[in-house]
Chains A and B, each alone.
Chain A
Amino acid sequence: MTEVDCPPKPLECYLIQAHQPVILKLPSGNHKFVKVVPGEYCNLGKFGKFQNDDIIGRPFGLTFEIIDRGHARPAKAQTLDAVEETTATNREIFDNPAAQQLSHEEIEQLKKSSLAGDVTHEELIGKVVENNLSFEQKTEFSKAKYIERKKKKFGKKFTVVEPTLHNVCNLYFSKNPMKIRDLRVDTLSQVVTSANLNAYSKILVVDDTQGLVLSAALSRISPLGNVIAVHESDSVSYDVLKHMNFPESIMERLHLISWSRVSRDCAELVSYERRVKAYRRTKATQELLWGGNLDGIIIASHYDPVSILDELVPYIGGSRPIVVYSPDKETLLAAAAQLKVKPDYLNPQITESWMREYQVLPGRTHPTMTMSAGGGYLLTAGRRLHIGRVGVIQLGVGLEHLISGEL
């Protein structure tokens, strides 16, 4: 395939399509994965439900509002509202549940009417606010906060978020970080650049993050690239892939191979009549791998990185990147120390990622009060080519960095 043959993405790729996996951002601020099955309802629990057909064909990132009887229509997304400070203070405010004049039953009744579409959620929130005796005494900041909280509780607005690598990683990280081995999105973003992933990459991936790292590779190649994924001998668990939305032309570039088929000494493949296709595929993947000169390797595995590299590094081309992710530093430390004494690696380095989010509101900008404590560690190195042993080469003054361990 030549460069001209690689077509620009059709417009439809940016629109929500039937049967596609998407992420919904709920009024509560939580996110969830759903599949857009046409003709079916999407149920958001206490926030109501809507017909999937109402969102199909719309661009990603739009905010919708649930209206009467299970329908959704595009709504205005929230913008930043400046809050003018007034003379009110928090001095007179006590936590007083009795401040709310509506009874529990009355609120429940309002919620029901709102779900049925008889009352808009603005009206509902308005009622709750009106009937809160201490509302008027609140400072403008606390009023804004109060309304914000009620919106999260009674709101009807949701956003359809595109399942990009960034968004999918964030969702896993906040809900189920164990599954992706605590790989935070800023670290993942560095994996992508460190591995120089691009349209043409012919990249090797060893992934125990349920396919998150694999998804990173797939989201950056074009139909001109190749991704070889080495997996456990008896099973493949790349759950993340089903939340991504890779077109067929990209999925065709993914080549799976199990550890038992990696070694050149592994048993000759037998072609069973029934499984000719699988046989051909494995054979082709082996050829791609053994052909060598691959454009890099990314490892995010439970196994000792050095044992993996010993097996696979011969297939990596000169000067190509080697990237190893680990949620703990010690694994990488042990590995880096070994890479330093092996002749196949240049400049092994360990880095730790740090990221901080801010609340940005007019007059109220500050770092968020809690933050993720760690985003994991990366070990990166370059593939060094060598002829014979390093020790044999005449070395001179240029070599301080060898002993200082910097090579």
Chain B
Amino acid sequence: MPFFRFKDTIEEGDLVIVYINRDNMTSITVDREKTYNNRYGLFTHKDMIGKRYGTMMSSSNGKGFIHLLFPTPELWSLVVPHRTQILYQPDISYISSYLDLKPGKKMIESGTGSGSFSHSIARSLAPNGHLYSFEFHEKRFETAKAEFEQHGISDMVTIQHRDVCKLGFGLENEVDAVFLDLPAPWEAIPSARTAFRQNLVGKLCSFSPCIEQVQRTCEALSDNGFTDICMFEVLVRNHDIPPKQGTKVNGTAKPSKSDAPSLALRRLTQEEMNYQLVTKTPEECRGHTSYLTFATFIPDLSD
């Protein structure tokens, strides 16, 4: 079963996202012989089995706790071991929307890198679509291949160890969409052209951090007959809600030093939270990921 298809109860062998807090998550594969530990305590896998996804689990000494979450592609992108730069949700979402990915569609991605993009795409194309993924770095290829197998998506993701700039994709008249995350995407464009289903219109996206790459890509796209060339940047900014604690002059919520631990033992009360709510942006955020260049493949209808 594909790992993005929701299930309720944790079983031996499941992939589980351990949620400590927003900035601290990790993934584990449940193995009843093993124990997960962090600075808040020990958590035996055996005790996770039979628990429902979305529940809290206390550490064996009762001092700390974690939440056990189901691994969606979005959570996976946050915990995936980085072998390369990866794509994050805002870009993945926009690309998936533009390329109109949905069950049944077939597409190409290269390079596979850390597989962050692949998982999200596999989810969107399942169960009857297909993702052809290409990676020329042998170690990355092997790691990704193993991951796809572990996550139960290897029947709909074919990964190949191949230099797509030198050798092309080796696919003809096959796909609806192509995604390029390569240092020199322009070298892969002629082969992408051949890979599209030749009697239909197809969409291509190229993901490059530098504007010079975009320009070369656009030139190659134009030379290869692609149309509707356009380019976007998308970002997302968080608005955090800083806790308000007794900022009223006559407020009683302000903890004295000795009160602090007891305050630490509960969630904020409704009253505390309702008092003049404000948001605050984080000090830093992602300012640039890459430029998203899109183009349309037009079939040759000169008949």
Measured CA separation A218–B91 after assembly (Å): 22
With both beta carbons as reference points, the residue of chain B lying nearest to A200 in the complex is identified as B5
A100 at the interface (CB under 8 A from B): no
Chain B neighbourhood of A377, CB < 8 A: 239
The verdict on A189 contacting B93 (CB below 8 Å), with A337-B273, A338-B273 known, is: yes
Chain A neighbourhood of B296, CB < 8 A: 61, 77
Chain B neighbourhood of A406, CB < 8 A: 21-23
Q: Do residues B22 and A347 form an inter-chain contact, with CB atoms below 8 A?
A: yes
Q: How large is the interface on B (under 10, 10 to 19, 20 to 34, 35 or more residues)?
A: 35 or more
For A59, give its contact among B70, B105, B201, B238 (CB under 8 Å): B201
Measured CA separation A245–B105 after assembly (Å): 16
Chain A neighbourhood of B53, CB < 8 A: 317-319
B128 at the interface (CB under 8 A from A): yes
For B128, give its contact among A7, A164, A397, A402 (CB under 8 Å): A7
For A3, give its contact among B98, B127, B279 (CB under 8 Å): B127
CB distance from A334 to the nearest CB of B (A): 6
Q: How many residues of A contact B (CB 8 A)?
A: 94
Chain A neighbourhood of B301, CB < 8 A: 58, 62, 74
How many residue pairs bridge A and B at CB < 8 Å? Answer: 289
For A384, give its contact among B56, B72, B237 (CB under 8 Å): B56
B36 at the interface (CB under 8 A from A): no
Q: Do residues B231 and A77 form an inter-chain contact, with CB atoms below 8 A?
A: no
Measured CA separation A106–B68 after assembly (Å): 75
For A333, give its contact among B69, B268, B277 (CB under 8 Å): B277
A108 at the interface (CB under 8 A from B): no
Q: Which of B247-303 contact A (CB under 8 A)?
A: 263-270, 273-274, 277-279, 291, 293, 296, 298-299, 301
Q: Using A295-B6, A401-B21 as known contacts, list a sample of 19 further A-B pairs with CB atoms less than 8 Å apart, ordered by residue number in A.
A: A3-B128, A59-B199, A59-B200, A61-B298, A166-B100, A186-B234, A189-B93, A192-B93, A220-B103, A224-B127, A351-B238, A354-B235, A355-B235, A386-B55, A396-B64, A397-B63, A398-B41, A399-B65, A403-B267
Residues of A within 8 A of B (CB): 3, 6-9, 11, 14, 58-63, 74, 77-80, 162, 164-166, 185-186, 188-190, 192-194, 196-200, 219-222, 224, 293, 295, 317-321, 329, 333-334, 336-338, 340-341, 346-347, 349-358, 360, 362, 365, 377, 382-387, 390-391, 393-407
